[in-house]
Amino acid sequence: MRDRVSVLFTEEQIARRVAELGEEITRSFEGREICVLGLMKGGLVFMSDLIRRIPLDLTVHLVRVTSQREQAAGRILTEIVYSTSVPLEGKDVLLVDDIVDTGITLSYLLAHIHEHGPASLRVCALVDKPEARKIDVHPDWTAFPVHEPMADRFLVGYGLDWMERFRGLPFIGTIPRPAPR
Ligand code: IMP
Ligand code: MG
């Protein structure tokens, strides 16, 4: 299966971007402790590289969200299915997201986190597909904005999956966009 994947961003490109983002984030949070909240599972690889590029005091937490498309009603149900227990109140939270596509997952998660009263809330995304947006949300930092026609391909690797596969690829690649189920 791996031979069907075309490379979009190499390991070297990713390492360079992660280092740049680490510097920007470090400058922005200087003197404060960051509460890093990683979005599972897609954001895990990115988060683990990124936190090693942020030489500040930080704590690490995880959250998992699933979305189910209710075909008949045309609705998308989003819910938090797992979260490490983390008191977010008064914390400077950095949410590390994998892909912002329609924005539905991210906007849901932001609303949920806001309810817990963090002092601040910023978002760092690995990939942003701004043309696919249905809800107007914007990450504060993005490693790789992906525009047409690449936004039309399905991204895998470096934590990103298709049907749980390809997460272990060290680069970000694409496969032909699978037909909607
Ligand atoms: P959204 O709620 O439509 O913004 O979807 C975001 C989620 O969809 C991400 O967290 C990914 O899990 C998934 N996703 C969207 N596009 C891709 C892709 O190209 N490859 C892998 N996962 C994707
Ligand atoms: Mg996924």
pLDDT-based confidence at residue 21 (cuts at 50, 70, 90): very high
- Which residue has better confidence, 26 or 180? 26
Report DSSP state, residue 53.
T
Backbone angles phi, psi at 37, to 5 degrees: -120, 110
On the question of pLDDT at 137 being above 80, the answer is yes
Nearest CA to ligand 1 atom 11: 99
In short, whether 83's Cβ falls inside 6 Å of ligand 1 is no
pTM of the model: 0.93
Among candidate residues 95, 85, 106, the one with its CA nearest the CA of residue 35 = 95
Q: Which of 69, 101, 127, 148 to mutate to test the pocket of ligand 1 (most atoms within 8 A of CB)?
A: 101
Provide the sign of the torsion angle of the four alpha carbons 24, 26, 32, 33, taken in this order. Answer: positive
Model pLDDT for residues 60-107, shown as the tens digit of each residue: 999 998 776 555 566 667 777 767 778 899 999 999 999 999 999 999
CA–centroid distance, 158 to ligand 1, in Å, is 13
